[in-house]
Structure 1
């Protein structure tokens, strides 16, 4: 079981989430009062609500971002609760219809065509991915997962993906299709986000949802192993926790799978590291703010950061060895992240969800969105080499037009600038950048 003691200063963001609910609420209250971002919650209030003053968009951490038991890992997702998102502003500019705050009857975030256009995937998404399987790893059961996925895909004109046609399959961490974990409304929101983002980037891919019986590293790791056992070559993980001295053993037990592209969220607590993003065997995925622009690309990105405690994770691992393909000189161990994709809730993605909430369309952010997006890009690029660690693929393409170099923004303050500040070439918050097609994600 993972220790919940912060092992290094870089673990501070995640450690805040693993303290008691009362302490978390108290810290949140103080922060909100000092910054003027909202009304301070009561001592028992969770989750935390955040306001982006510039965009007047509000969002909240999803319930799975708060651990249920000591030692649990947490999801990296945030759900928009009010205001007008970037997508809605763009739509209003086109059709003159003023968005209604809180309306769940229609999508209010980026959809598949937006993400495919932003990341140069339109042609690949139309023709690639057939026969490939993306595994989504989450804790607990979402009873409505297949039905909600069907609603999302039908709305956007994506091909059906059901258990009846063999495209979709849901199993427990032991591979059972009937003995599933207990249901959880918080993790169900995470599951909907993950399934929809994998669909958005790779509409022709099969999807395998593997549900762990709890959010412990042991159970989530067992689910990763089960996904690989069942044949998935692309495995998305949108969760994390503070680093610990046990991480190297978790590496060998759960994440050392040559020939499999394993993506992991870099975290939502701003500058600081978390595991399993720190594993040397995975692709750590940071988060950006994605907006349309008049540039030739038509989009622009910067590092996602909302506050000193909210934004994409990054930094130098305290325990994991540096993989051979990382050559940055400031960090002697594993550096996070490798690549990135959209994660800012104010420029968030549309998700359909119905379990534990009013059935409808929601906008989500967090690096829980970016990890399955990148898993989908890997799947579009084709099956990895059987002895390859696909985390190295973007390094082979570093500095080329196959990646959008994100050069502005920061996720905190740090002694070594590139650990927390974007710049030309490699940096911690965004890695080598975001996809521009699939060339950077193939061997």
Structure 2
């Protein structure tokens, strides 16, 4: 029995929460891919660190460096999970080294007087042996899991989009490797489309999603494109589908396809790859909160609708400058100042005739400006929902 080690371990048990917190923070400081983890992902890292350090202490206190089959099995499961969420293998292994060094440093700093040199040596050797065994299990399971994932391309593509939506794929280098491995050519500024059935009582089936993808001129998930590399992704969230699309696909094409499939949705244009998660949340929350009359003249909302709804529902993500930018678009340019003035006067007075009188222009001139405003924004100021969006954006611009 190693009495001194057991006494130290008993002391550290009371400090383990703080030691784990220090270890996790050291990992996040040292490894960029871990910095953006939050919620369940961060809790998972903390739980693994807690369990790993407790096992290491138990083995050291008992003078036994043997990792049993349950430990091997758990580390194999961790390796497979990291392969599934796309976390780079090198970063995963480095995280264990960083966390272990924090533990060893804590022991040697706080309890050096209570231990003998052989105790410290055994701790250091035990850590090296454990990392070696852990690495072997994680590497093996990671490689097998990656091979299984990439052998089913449709599943692998969906998992990549799942990771982008959840914010799990944060390393540009790791993302580039994964995209290349899956033979993809994703746009740097994709459009993100979220759709659901127009009829809340109708289920969203795989056949419907496949028909939508085909209607957009793209290859469905379970088919291969012989001539070009795939530039789009698709996945599901319950009764909604999420599509990452090339920005060459026009909004009019999306609108026509959704109408044909009896779907409604929200399209966020020219997102960034790292911004896919934010685009998904904006679109999904827009579908959650949009009133029925927002769809009176169309099947697909846009970024401006999403930003307006975020503001109206007092979401923490609401950004007034984005409401102005996405709703008014090029109307804020100096060359279109007269068009914006005509639109503002129409919204304020309620009729083209009254607006024309206010601006001292002919009614036909005012009507021309309204047509141009509709062409530039895609919003008809005679529609209640579009009028609300335009009026809100105009007022926010004036306040800004």
TM, length-normalised to structure 2 = 0.25
TM-score by length of structure 1 reads: 0.23
Higher helix share: 2
Larger Rg: 2
